[in-house]
Protein backbone atom coordinates (compact mmCIF):
# COMPACT_ATOMS: atom_id res chain seq x y z
CA UNK A 1 0.00 0.00 0.00
CA UNK A 2 1.34 3.41 -0.99
CA UNK A 3 1.68 5.82 1.98
CA UNK A 4 0.61 8.89 -0.03
CA UNK A 5 -2.81 7.35 -0.72
CA UNK A 6 -3.62 7.47 2.98
CA UNK A 7 -5.78 10.59 3.60
CA UNK A 8 -3.90 11.69 6.72
CA UNK A 9 -0.53 11.41 4.96
CA UNK A 10 -1.88 13.45 2.06
CA UNK A 11 -3.16 16.10 4.47
CA UNK A 12 0.23 16.25 6.23
CA UNK A 13 1.91 16.72 2.85
CA UNK A 14 -0.58 19.45 1.94
CA UNK A 15 0.10 21.15 5.29
CA UNK A 16 3.87 20.98 4.68
CA UNK A 17 3.55 22.33 1.13
CA UNK A 18 1.27 25.19 2.26
CA UNK A 19 3.67 26.20 5.02
CA UNK A 20 6.72 25.90 2.77
CA UNK A 21 4.96 27.84 0.01
CA UNK A 22 3.96 30.64 2.38
CA UNK A 23 7.53 30.84 3.70
CA UNK A 24 8.97 31.02 0.17
CA UNK A 25 6.32 33.54 -0.87
CA UNK A 26 7.20 35.73 2.11
CA UNK A 27 10.83 35.63 1.00
CA UNK A 28 10.01 36.55 -2.60
CA UNK A 29 7.36 39.16 -1.88
CA UNK A 30 9.26 40.95 0.86
CA UNK A 31 7.03 43.06 3.09
CA UNK A 32 3.81 42.06 1.30
CA UNK A 33 3.63 38.85 3.34
CA UNK A 34 4.93 38.50 6.87
CA UNK A 35 4.51 36.39 9.97
CA UNK A 36 4.59 37.26 13.67
CA UNK A 37 6.90 34.33 14.46
CA UNK A 38 8.42 31.19 12.99
CA UNK A 39 5.72 29.05 14.57
CA UNK A 40 3.13 31.25 12.85
CA UNK A 41 4.31 29.84 9.50
CA UNK A 42 3.48 26.32 10.65
CA UNK A 43 0.05 27.29 11.94
CA UNK A 44 -0.67 29.42 8.84
CA UNK A 45 0.19 26.39 6.70
CA UNK A 46 -2.29 24.33 8.72
CA UNK A 47 -5.00 26.99 8.36
CA UNK A 48 -4.40 27.20 4.61
CA UNK A 49 -4.44 23.40 4.27
CA UNK A 50 -7.78 23.22 6.13
CA UNK A 51 -9.22 25.98 3.93
CA UNK A 52 -8.01 24.09 0.84
CA UNK A 53 -9.77 20.94 2.02
CA UNK A 54 -13.13 22.41 3.06
CA UNK A 55 -13.68 25.88 1.52
CA UNK A 56 -11.74 25.74 -1.77
CA UNK A 57 -14.00 23.09 -3.36
CA UNK A 58 -17.06 25.27 -2.67
CA UNK A 59 -15.32 28.31 -4.19
CA UNK A 60 -14.40 26.24 -7.25
CA UNK A 61 -18.00 25.08 -7.74
CA UNK A 62 -19.34 28.64 -7.53
CA UNK A 63 -16.67 30.00 -9.85
CA UNK A 64 -16.86 27.15 -12.37
CA UNK A 65 -18.30 29.36 -15.17
CA UNK A 66 -15.38 31.81 -14.79
CA UNK A 67 -12.90 28.94 -14.65
CA UNK A 68 -14.31 27.41 -17.84
CA UNK A 69 -14.55 30.78 -19.61
CA UNK A 70 -10.90 31.58 -18.87
CA UNK A 71 -9.77 28.02 -19.65
CA UNK A 72 -8.63 27.51 -16.06
CA UNK A 73 -6.77 30.78 -15.56
CA UNK A 74 -9.33 31.92 -12.98
CA UNK A 75 -7.89 29.23 -10.69
CA UNK A 76 -5.06 31.69 -10.01
CA UNK A 77 -7.65 34.02 -8.46
CA UNK A 78 -9.22 31.12 -6.53
CA UNK A 79 -5.81 30.17 -5.11
CA UNK A 80 -5.17 33.78 -4.15
CA UNK A 81 -8.59 33.99 -2.51
CA UNK A 82 -7.83 30.96 -0.34
CA UNK A 83 -4.54 32.55 0.80
CA UNK A 84 -6.35 35.84 1.49
CA UNK A 85 -9.03 34.02 3.52
CA UNK A 86 -6.28 32.28 5.50
CA UNK A 87 -4.76 35.67 6.35
CA UNK A 88 -8.13 36.93 7.59
CA UNK A 89 -8.81 33.79 9.65
CA UNK A 90 -5.30 33.60 11.13
CA UNK A 91 -4.18 37.15 11.91
CA UNK A 92 -0.45 36.42 12.60
CA UNK A 93 -0.25 35.89 8.83
CA UNK A 94 -0.07 39.41 7.40
CA UNK A 95 -0.83 39.98 3.72
CA UNK A 96 -0.97 43.59 2.56
CA UNK A 97 -3.54 43.19 -0.23
CA UNK A 98 -5.41 40.73 -2.40
CA UNK A 99 -2.84 40.82 -5.21
CA UNK A 100 -0.06 39.84 -2.83
CA UNK A 101 -2.25 36.88 -1.89
CA UNK A 102 -2.67 36.02 -5.59
CA UNK A 103 1.11 36.05 -6.10
CA UNK A 104 1.51 33.94 -2.96
CA UNK A 105 -1.04 31.50 -4.40
CA UNK A 106 1.02 31.24 -7.57
CA UNK A 107 4.18 30.56 -5.58
CA UNK A 108 2.41 27.96 -3.41
CA UNK A 109 1.10 26.29 -6.58
CA UNK A 110 4.63 26.13 -8.01
CA UNK A 111 5.97 24.68 -4.75
CA UNK A 112 3.16 22.12 -4.80
CA UNK A 113 4.04 21.19 -8.38
CA UNK A 114 7.75 20.80 -7.56
CA UNK A 115 7.13 18.72 -4.42
CA UNK A 116 4.67 16.51 -6.33
CA UNK A 117 7.17 16.05 -9.17
CA UNK A 118 9.95 15.11 -6.75
CA UNK A 119 7.72 12.64 -4.92
CA UNK A 120 6.55 11.12 -8.20
CA UNK A 121 10.15 10.78 -9.36
CA UNK A 122 11.18 9.00 -6.17
CA UNK A 123 8.10 6.78 -6.32
CA UNK A 124 8.89 5.54 -9.84
CA UNK A 125 12.48 4.56 -8.93
pLDDT at position 22:
96
d(CA 55, CA 111): 21
pTM above 0.95, yes or no: no
Q: Which residues contact 31 (CB under 8 A, 6 or more apart)?
A: 96
pLDDT at position 1:
42
pLDDT at position 4:
59
pLDDT, one tens digit for every residue, the chain (125 residues): 454 578 999 999 999 999 999 999 999 998 999 999 999 999 999 999 999 999 999 999 999 999 999 999 999 999 999 999 999 999 999 999 999 999 999 999 999 999 989 988 888 87
Phi, then psi, of 63 in degrees rounded to 5: -100, 15
pLDDT at position 60:
97
Strands 93-95 and 33-35: antiparallel
Which of 90, 13, 104, 20 lies closest to 51 in space, CA to CA?
A: 90
Q: Which residues contact 122 (CB under 8 A, 6 or more apart)?
A: none
Amino acid sequence: MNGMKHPFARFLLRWFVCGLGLWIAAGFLGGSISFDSASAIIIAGLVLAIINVFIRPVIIIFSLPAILFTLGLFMVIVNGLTVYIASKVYTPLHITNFWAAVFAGIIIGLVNYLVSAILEETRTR
